[in-house]
A = this chain, B = another copy of it.
Amino acid sequence: MAQRDPRVQLLLTGNEIMSGDTVDSNSALIARRLAEIAITVYRKVTVGDDNALLQAELAQMAANADIVIINGGLGPTVDDLTAQVLATVAGVPLSEHPQALAHLEQWCATRNLPLNAANRKQALLPEGARVIANPVGSAVGFELALGGCRVLCTPGVPGELDAMLDGIVADLGHSLARPAGRRILRLQTFGLGESSAQQLISDALPQWPPQVELGFRAGAPQMEIKLSIADSDFLPLQQQCHRQLLELFGDHVIGEGDTQLAQRVLELLQQRGKTLTTAESCTGGLIASMLTRVPGSSEAFHAGFVTYANDIKTSVLGVLPGTLARHGAVSEEVVREMALGALQRAGADYAIAVSGIAGPEGGSPGKPVGTVWLAWGEAHALQTRCLCWPVERSLFQTMVAAAGLDLIRRALLGLTTEPRYFSQRRAR
């Protein structure tokens, strides 16, 4: 059981990462996925697409690590050097790997593409390498031993890396025969900030057990809270902390694992046999898009309306010209009429309507950039609210769209308590 922890290093390659044109999020993803099987990355090195530099780093790393994961450089272009570098350091030739070639051929066939020479380069692997399946991309990953060190080569395209890591994590978890790994429990929340969540926990739960490590990952729009323990002996403690957090954060918790707001809303709608429609001005289709990203969303979402201009609010949703003239497009009366119009047009049970000022232009002293009116719910029980998110346009749209979905979630669950963002994002 008291097996030594494997020493794991990452080698990242890519001129676009060195130049800062791309922010590397892959190494964070790798670290998080390895943490699931209690493996810690203790060092990472990044260099550009340079043969000599890559060879020197790899040779040094392999001499000091049990596992090296290389990320990037698997593509078809001349600046993709990983296979060649690994072959050189290992002192073996490159040769066309039948399994990699078969994968490429199938990949091209499915897409009706010719297998050209540049693509075919991706089947050239160091002799003796084991193929690691790439479920979504053209270039397979591969593994080769350098002395006592396992070198795993993975693609730089984030979606491909993500898909490949499932296999790698399963394989490493199995082959390293780790003692029962780190148990991680994740909660998805909306409407909580990192520092306020931390403060709430410190204040309310001063006796937090040290065995249950607490982590926060603030994304836009959701924040993830992670409860992590090193040993399964502490599972009851983890469960207890989980219950305490649910009590503390209440209905700001959307769900466990990777639950996304749109997914949760669709699930609740389907359970109740209800449908939802959207009437969007400032979010411009983003709420509809978040919903329809979810497979199977067509069951509960049939229609959405992007009514950006005033005359469209009238012609498509039946908002009265007089209402627009008297109150302006960003007003309680207009979002109410938008929601009712959308409900009628779509024949839906629930609606969410938003109208606001996304900026950077269009603000006024009375209605500054960031102001937004929302209306949501069923026709006979429509609720409205004015909030203010004075942030950059795209983040404003993301947060407002998520708030709309969150308010529908709350309505579907029959929650009556106010979310924290009602007071924190109150329009002045």
Contact of A295 among B16, B116, B278, B393 (CB under 8 A): B393
User: Looking at chain A's contact residues, is the secondary structure mostly helix, strand, loop, or mixed?
Assistant: mixed
Which residue of chain B is the closest to A199 with respect to CB atoms?
B118
Contact of A297 among B20, B284, B296 (CB under 8 A): B284
Q: Is the CB of B306 within 8 A of A305?
A: yes
Within 8 A of B (CB), among A284-314: 284-289, 291-293, 295-298, 301-309, 311-312
Interface string of A21-32 (1 = CB under 8 A from B): 111110111111
Q: Is the CB of A42 within 8 A of B18?
A: yes
Q: Is the CB of A301 within 8 A of B308?
A: yes
Q: Is the CB of A216 within 8 A of B77?
A: yes
Q: Is the CB of B284 within 8 A of A287?
A: no
B residues less than 8 Å from A199 (CB atoms)? 116-118
Contact of A195 among B23, B77, B345 (CB under 8 A): B77
Q: A243 an interface residue at 8 Å Cβ cutoff?
A: no
Within 8 A of B (CB), among A365-398: 388, 390-395, 397
Contact of A293 among B50, B76, B112, B397 (CB under 8 A): B397
Contact of A306 among B22, B292, B315 (CB under 8 A): B292
- 18 A–B pairs (Cβ distance < 8 Å), ordered by A: A19-B35, A21-B28, A21-B216, A22-B217, A42-B47, A42-B48, A77-B194, A116-B195, A136-B391, A138-B195, A284-B289, A285-B288, A289-B289, A301-B308, A302-B311, A312-B346, A316-B316, A316-B345
Chain A interface residues toward B at CB < 8 A: 15-25, 27-32, 35, 40-48, 50, 53, 57, 75-79, 110-113, 116-119, 136, 138, 157, 159, 194-196, 198-199, 202, 214-218, 220, 226, 278, 280, 282-289, 291-293, 295-298, 301-309, 311-312, 315-316, 345-347, 358-361, 388, 390-395, 397, 424-426, 428
